[in-house]
Structure 1
C-alpha cells in the first residue's frame, strides 16, 4: 500500500480511539464503523471484510466463554467459593484468599466470569465482618486481570497474541507458554496487593449494608384505600398506568394478610393498605392521581422481612394443625424480602429503562431503587437508563428471581445462596475441560477446535442449557474482535505499523533494546486503559513485530510484552470489564483506580521485562 493508505489508516484508528475514549457509542459499534470505513476507503478488500469473524481467536474466545459459564452452572466454582467464606476475620487473610482464588480461577476460565462468581462472596465477607467492600473489591478485580496472564485462555489478549504468532511463524503459543512470565508477575502483584496495595484503596464505609446504601427505611410508606379513594377497584397495573410512573408496590395488606405486590392480581378494596417505596414527589402524585393517603408511621425495611417471617410461621402452624387439605384461599406471605444485584457488563439492561425492559410484566421483578457510584439515584425510576455496575434493589418471587436475574445479566450480591451444583455435572465439566487441555498440550488439535469441542460436549450432555450457552457468548466482544482484526491487519499491510516502529527505533537507537521494550510496554498499557484490552493487543501486535524485525531480534519477547501490558488495565474503570463490574458495588469513583493501579502497574513492569528476557531471549 502507499503512504496515503497508511495515512488513512492512522486517521481511521485515531477517530476510533477517540470514539472508544468518548464512550458515547458502545465499543462494538465503534469497531464495526472502523471496519466499514476501512472497506469504503479501500484499505481492506470488500471480500475480506468479515473474515475476522471466522478467525481462530474469535472462535476460541467464544468457546472459553461457554466453558466458563458451564463451570458456573455445574458448581465447580461454588465449591471453592463456599470454602472462601470460612476464611475468618483477618483482613489480610481475606485479601490473600479472595485475590489468590480469583487469580487461580482466572487462569482456567474467563477472568470476568471468575470475578463475577467471587464478587458476591466478597460482598458477603465484608458485611459479615463489618468491612468496607471497597477494600476487597478493587484488589479482587485486579487479581482477576493478573490471573488471566498465566494461560492461553485466561484473557483475550493472550489468545490474540498466540494466533498472531502462528500467522507470523507458523506456530502458536501453547496453553502454558505464558505461565512462566504470567505466574511470576501474578504472584508479585498478589504479594504487593496483600501487603501494601489494599491500603491505597478508598474506604467507602457507607457501602457496608443495603440499608445504608439505599436508606430504605426513609422511603417505605403505607397508603390506605379509603371509601372515596379513586384507586378503589383498580388493579396494580391500572394504578401504574394511571400514574405513568414506576412506583413499586411491595405488598398489599388485606384483613391482616400480606401479599407481595408481584403476586397481587386482584382489584383494590376499601381498607386495603399498600406498602410501597416512594419519596415526597411520588406521594403527592399518588394522592393527586389515585387519591391514596399516607399512614403517618413509616415502615422500617427490616420490619417487612420480620413480619413476613412471623406470618409465614403462623401460616405453617395453621397448616400443621389442619389434618385436612389446606385452604386454597390462604394467602402466601413469603418472598417479601429485598435483594441486591449488580448490572453486568454483558447485561441486556444497559442503556435501557424499566419500561423498555418490561421488568415487571416479563420478569416479575419490582425495581425499588438504584445506586450508582456508591449513592442512591434520586431521579424517577422510569427515567433511569441502566449502566454497567449499577446496583439495583429488587423484589421478586424467590422461586423465579434467580432465573430472571440470569436472563437480564445481573449478578445477585450479598444475599445470593451458594449452590454446590450437581456432582455428576461438576465432575463432567472438569473432565471435559481437562480432556480439551490434554488435546491442546499434545498438539492433536488447535486450541480453537479443542475448546469448541469442549463447549459443544458441555451443551450436549446438559452441563449448560443451550440458551445459557448462547447468553454466555459476549456479543459485543465477539463483534469487537471480528471487526478489529482486519483493521489491525490493515495497519500492518499499509505500512502504518512499520512507521510507528521506525519512530520507536530512532528514539532508542543509542539505547539498549530493553528501553524500547519498556516503551512498547507503556504504550500498550496506556491503550489498554482507555480502550478494550483485546483491541489494544490487536493494534500493538503488528507494531511489536515491526520492532522485532527492525532490531533483527526474536519476535517472541516483543509479543510477550504486548500480551502482559495489554492486560494491565489498572488505571481506569473503563479499561477492563472487571474494573467496571466492581465500580458500583465498591462505591468507587473514576479517580480511585490509579491510586492502587499505578504502583501495581510499575510492579508488573519491573517484574515482567526481566522475566520475559529470561524466558524469551532476544536472540531466540
Structure 2
C-alpha cells in the first residue's frame, strides 16, 4: 500500500466500529435500533459519516420500499384471502409430503412479491388449518414454511430488505441496480433445490402426524410448555402436596399476599397462588379437574392463541402493561416464552418475538386487540374473522408488482403508487399503518445505511477486498464462493440487512480488484444472507416458528444444514454458469 500503514486511521476506526456493532448485535442485550443509532452517532463523531449524510438512510430507496411493502402486507393480511385456502388445499387429498410441498411452494411464491415475514404471517393460519383437517403435526410444516419464506425471498428485489440494499449498492457502483427479477438467476434454482430437500428430509426429521389417535381427528394447536398463574382452591388434590412431588415446575408461591421462600414451603395450602411452568394440555386438565383455579373468563369469551410478531407493539412489554388487552377485558391465561428466565410474577413476564399468549375474550374484542397490538392469531377461526375475502387489494398490489417488474419504474415508485391507491380506496389508513410499522427494525436499517456507504467512501471496502484477494485464488469460482460462504457464516448471528450493508462494498471491491463484474458477487451475497436456516435466532421467521412448533435448537441444524448446502451450492453453480 505504497509503503504506508495497512490501515489508515479512519479505516481502522470504521472496521473497529462495525465489528463492535456486530458483536453487540450478536449479544442481543440492547435494542437493535439503539445499537444502530449509537454506531451512527459515533460514525459522525469520528468523521466517518458526514453530518449531512447522517439521516440519508431514511430517504434511501431501499428504506422507502421496505416501508411501502410493509404497509401493503398489512392490508393484505386483513383481506381474509389466504385464510380460506386451507380447506381448498385439504380438498386436494394429498399425502403429508404433497401437503408440505404445496404449503412451501405457496409460501415461497408469496415471498417473491412481498417481504418474507409478511408471507410467513399470512401462511401460518393456513398451515394450522391444514394441519387440523389432515391430522398433521404443526411441527411438521412450521419450520419448512419458515424456510420457504426465506427461499422465495431470494428471487426478487422486494423479497427481503437485503435484496433492496444490494441493488442500491450496485447502482452506486455502476449507475444501474438490479431489475425486479435479476435475483432469480441464482434464487430460483436455489429455492427449488431447497424446497426439494425440505420435502425429502422433513418427513424423516420432524414428526408428521398430529395426535397419533387410533381414529383420525383434527388435532388442536400444539401443546407447549407454558408459564401460568393460578390459585389452589379448597378441596384441590394439590392441598398438602410437597413441592418436590408436583406434576409441574413450581416457580413461586404467594401465600396471604406474601411471596414465600420456596425452600421453606413444606406443603401447599388452599389459597396459595402458584406461578408454574407446565405443558399446556396438562394445565387444561388441572383446571378442568378443579385442582387449580385460573379465574373466570369473560361470559361470552372464546380461547385464542396469538404469537408476538416482530412488528408487534408488545415486544419488550410486560403482560400487566398491555393496555389493548386489559381495556377490552381480555384475560391472558398462560404464556409460552422463548426466554427461560422467570422473574417476578406472571404479570411481570416480558414478551419477545415468537412468544405465544393464551388469551380469553369476546371474539370481536379479541380481533380488535390483535389488530392494535399486531399479534397474529394462530387459528383461522370464523369467530375471529367472519367478513368475506376481498380480492381488490390483491389486484392493486399485483398491478404494482407488474409495474416494477416489466416497466421502467423504480420499485419505490411502483409500490408508492400501490400505497396511494389503497389509501384513496379506503383500504389503508396511513396514520394507523405508519404508527404500527416495526419502527425498531426500520430505524436500525436507516441508521446502518450511511455506515455501509462509509465502507466504500473511506476506501475500507477496497482495502479489505485486497486482503481477501491475497489469501484466495484469483479465479472467479473461489472468489464468489468466499463471498457466499462469508455471508452464510455471519448472518446467523447478525440480521441479514446489516450483513448486506457491511459486506456489499467489500464484495464490490473484490470484484473490481479481480477485474470481474460485480453482479455475481452481489447476487452471491444476497443469496448467502437469505439462506439463514442454521439457527432459530438468525432470522425473525425462524424465531417465530421456534415458539409455535416447540422446536429445539438442534432441529434447525438437522434440517437447516442440508437445505443450506443444497440451496447455496445450487445457487452458486447457477451464478458461475450464467454470469461467468
- Superposed pair shares fold, TM > 0.5: yes
Pairing 1:5-44 to 2, within 5 Å after superposition: 5-44=10-49
- Give the match for residue 564 of structure 2: 601
SS at 2:327's partner residue? helix
Alignment of 1:432-451 (within 5 A): 432-451=396-415
1:19 Cα deviation from its structure 2 partner:
0.6
Select the residue among 352, 355, 380 that pairs with 2:320: 355
Q: Does the 8 Å CA contact 2:228/2:334 hold for their aligned counterparts?
A: no
Q: C-alpha separation between the residues in 1 aligned to 2:87 and 2:222?
A: 25
What's the counterpart of residue 580 of structure 1? 543
Give 2:508's match in structure 1, choosing from 521, 545, 557.
545
Structure 2 spans left out of the alignment, 5+ residues: 213-218, 236-255, 260-266, 275-284, 291-295
Distance, in Å, in 1 between the alignment partners of 2:270 and 2:494 is 40
Structure with higher Rg: it is: 1
Summarize the alignment of residues 287-302 of structure 1 with structure 2, pairs less than 5 Å apart.
Answer: 299-300=287-288
**8 Å CA contact 2:107, 2:123 repeated in 1:** yes
Are 1:213 and 2:224 matched, yes or no?
yes
Deviates more, 1:491-500 or 1:559-568: 491-500
Structure 1 residue 422: deviation in Å? 5.0
Identify the residue that residue 413 of structure 1 maps to in structure 2: 378
Matches within 5 A, 1:455-466: 455-466=419-430
- Aligned residue pairs, count: 529
Deviations 1:143-171 (A, max 9, x none): 00001111111111111111211222221
Deviation per CA, 1:367-392, whole angstroms, max 9, x where unpaired? 10111359997973112111111111
Kept after mapping to 1: 8 A contact 2:113/2:401: no
Q: Which whole-Å CA distance do the structure 2 matches of 1:369 and 1:497 have between them?
A: 50
Aligned partner of 1:380 among 345, 355, 364: 345
Corresponding residue for 1:231?
none
User: What CA distance in whole angstroms lies between the structure 2 residues aligned with 1:38 and 1:301?
Assistant: 61
113, 116, 121: which one aligns with 2:118? 113
SS at match of 1:399: helix
CA contact (8 A) 2:44 2:51 kept: yes
Cα distance in 2 between the residues matched to 1:550 and 1:281? 75
Give the one of 125, 128, 143 matched to 2:130: 125
Alignment-derived partner of residue 276 in structure 1? none
Consecutive unaligned residues in structure 1, runs of 5 or more: 225-241, 246-278, 287-296, 303-307, 309-331
* 1:334 counterpart residue number: 300
Distance 2:326 2:379 in 1: 26
Q: Report if the CA contact (8 A) 1:220-1:301 is conserved.
A: no
Inter-partner Cα distance in structure 2 for 1:459 and 1:122: 30
User: Which residue among 126, 146, 149 is the counterpart of 1:141?
Assistant: 146
Pairing of 1:170-569 with structure 2 (within 5 A)? 170-201=175-206, 209=220, 212-213=223-224, 283-285=271-273, 299-300=287-288, 333-335=299-301, 337-358=302-323, 360-373=325-338, 380-414=345-379, 416-417=381-382, 422=388, 425-426=390-391, 428-471=392-435, 473-509=437-473, 512-569=475-532
Structure 1 residue 197: Cα displacement: 4.1
TM-score (norm 2): 0.83
Quote how far apart the aligned CAs of 1:15 are. Answer: 0.9
SS for the counterpart of 2:350 is coil
Q: Compared with structure 1, are the counterparts of its residues 284 and 39 closer, same or farther at alpha carbon in structure 2 (3 Å cutoff)?
A: same
Distance 2:453 2:204 in 1: 43
Looking at structure 2, the residues matched to 281 and 405 of structure 1 have their Cα atoms a distance apart, in angstroms, of 37
Q: Distance between the aligned counterparts of 1:526 and 1:439, measured in 2? A: 36
CA, structure 1 residues 285+554, in 2 after alignment: closer, same or farther (shift >3 Å)? closer
Shift of 1:531: 0.9
- Separation (CA, whole Å) in 1 of partners of 2:269 and 2:483: 55
SS at match of 1:480: helix
Deviation of the 1:127 alpha carbon: 4.1
For residues 541 and 281 of structure 1, what CA distance do their matches in structure 2 show?
63
Q: Distance in 2 between matches of 1:202 and 1:575?
A: 23
Q: Is the 8 A contact 1:339 1:393 kept in 2?
A: yes
**TM-score normalized by the length of structure 1:** 0.78
Structure 2 distance, partners of 1:608, 1:34, is 33
Q: Aligned partners of 1:524 and 1:471: how far apart in 2?
A: 33
In structure 2, what is the equivalent of residue 63 of structure 1?
68
SS at match of 1:351: coil
Contact 2:325/2:369, CA 8 A, preserved across alignment: no
C-alpha distance 185-299 of structure 1, shift in aligned 2 (>3 A)? closer
Task: Report the more deviating stretch, 55-64 or 201-210.
Answer: 201-210
* Structure 2 CA distance for aligned equivalents of residues 465 and 81 of structure 1: 29
**CA root-mean-square deviation:** 3.5
Q: Secondary structure at the match of 1:559?
A: helix
* DSSP-derived class of the 2:271 partner: helix
1:3 touches 1:494 (CA, 8 Å); kept in 2?
no
Helix, strand or coil at the partner of 2:42? helix
